[in-house]
């Protein structure tokens, strides 16, 4: 099968996506698929190889500019020539805004190319932490108290936060974003006043959410095929012990700074709750293929933090760890995602034909 792997992208998670795309491409190639890695630069330029040949720059220490230059040298490319995508399915190795928020998904639908993971609506909802949290609350899930703040409103009235009823400490996070980029722990009103101008230099939309002290856990969900049906199965959750104050971007991606223990060292009753809530979050947002939901466990209650529709897929990422713990070969998981993408495209084509 001819598979285009999209990776890189314009979000702050560009470098993480480089690792994901490389791992996905090499795994799919080892499965016998013809793989064409398509690198999207930080500026949004699509570097599309003419041939199906998964070659990548050596080493992981290169900055994105060096990586892009070497990638172009390795491949004879057709930059921007979308007709040269010429694939049976696009496997998405993107993360963050413009890759995980439904934008690329919508573009691929216009081109008529099946793609892995969730559709446009679920991708957009999951990326928007405010809307996702409201949906989680409506579904009966526990969510830490949160408050929304837009840059334009703050610029017009910086005293908005003075009498907001916020509970400290709290986290200041982008509404749309991942991997804990531009995420800060705020200890009190004065700390928030100092941090907001810097935050809004980089972001347009903030969520302020009460800090909860507990155990950090993440749990993946995948859609496995059983006969003619697809069944949602929660994977063994991962317990996360951050190296710093919280599971920030450095703790996530710098080796040795955090511990990730799969399966989580929690009572079976709590494990079951986490898995049930992960499936519920997946269904609530309308996710497809796979997802990963993050929680804080306080006492025996899982508080949902967010759902990722395109979670990390490097060899050390959480979903591959959890699949391994469940005895699911990563190749089986990848093939399931490809099959799901093709099945959805088939249903959509049938629906169009019937109108």
Give the helix/strand (H/E) hosting 131.
Answer: helix 129-138
3-state secondary structure of 354: helix
Which candidate in 84, 123, 251, 317 is catalytic? 317
DSSP letter (8 states) at residue 49: B
Torsion, Cα of 133, 135, 141, 142 (10° steps): 30
Angstrom distances, CA of residue 40 to CA of 94, 95, 142: 9, 12, 37
228 labelled catalytic: no
Could you give phi then psi for residue 266, rounded to 5 degrees? -130, 155
The annotation status of 306 as a binding-site residue, yes or no, is yes
Which candidate in 179, 180, 251, 336 is catalytic? 179
By the 8 A CB rule, do 220 and 278 touch?
A: yes
DSSP letter (8 states) at residue 149: E
13 labelled catalytic: yes
Give the whole-angstrom CA distance, residue 48 versus residue 6. Answer: 10
- Which residue numbers belong to the known binding site? 294, 306, 308
- Which residue numbers belong to the known binding site for Mg(2+)? 294, 306, 308
Active-site amino acid positions: 13, 179, 317
């Amino acid at each position: 099968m001819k598979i285009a792997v999209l990776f890189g992208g314009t979000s702050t998670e560009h470098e993480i996506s480089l690792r994901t795309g490389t791992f996905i491409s090499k795994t799919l190639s080892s499965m016998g698929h013809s793989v064409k890695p398509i690198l999207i630069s930080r500026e949004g330029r699509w570097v599309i190889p003419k041939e199906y040949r998964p070659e990548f720059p050596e080493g992981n220490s290169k900055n994105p500019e060096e990586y892009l230059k070497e990638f172009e040298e390795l491949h004879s490319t057709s930059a921007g020539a979308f007709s040269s995508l010429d694939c049976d399915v696009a496997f998405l190795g993107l993360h963050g805004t413009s890759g995980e928020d439904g934008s690329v998904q919508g573009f691929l639908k216009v081109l008529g190319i099946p793609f892995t993971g969730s559709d446009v609506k679920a991708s957009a909802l999951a990326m928007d932490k405010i809307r996702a949290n409201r949906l989680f609350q409506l579904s009966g899930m526990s969510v830490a108290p949160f408050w929304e703040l837009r840059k334009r409103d703050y610029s017009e009235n910086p005293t908005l936060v003075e009498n907001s009823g916020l509970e400290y400490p709290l986290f200041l996070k982008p509404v749309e974003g991942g991997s804990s980029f531009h995420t800060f722990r705020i200890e009190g009103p004065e700390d928030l006043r100092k941090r907001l101008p810097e935050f809004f230099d980089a972001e347009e939309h903030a969520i302020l959410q009460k800090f909860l002290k507990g155990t950090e856990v993440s749990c993946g969900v995948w859609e496995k095929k059983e006969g003619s049906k697809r069944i949602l199965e929660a994977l063994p959750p991962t317990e996360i012990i951050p190296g710093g104050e919280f599971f920030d971007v450095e703790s996530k991606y710098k080796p040795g700074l955090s511990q990730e223990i799969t399966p989580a060292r929690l009572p079976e009753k709590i494990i079951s709750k986490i898995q049930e809530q992960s499936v519920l979050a997946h269904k609530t947002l309308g996710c497809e293929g796979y997802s990963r939901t993050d929680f804080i466990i306080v006492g025996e209650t899982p508080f949902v933090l967010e759902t990722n529709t395109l979670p990390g897929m490097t060899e050390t990422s959480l979903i591959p760890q959890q699949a391994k713990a469940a005895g699911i070969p990563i190749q089986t998981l990848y093939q399931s995602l490809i099959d799901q993408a093709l099945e959805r495209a088939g249903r959509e084509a049938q629906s169009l034909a019937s109108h």
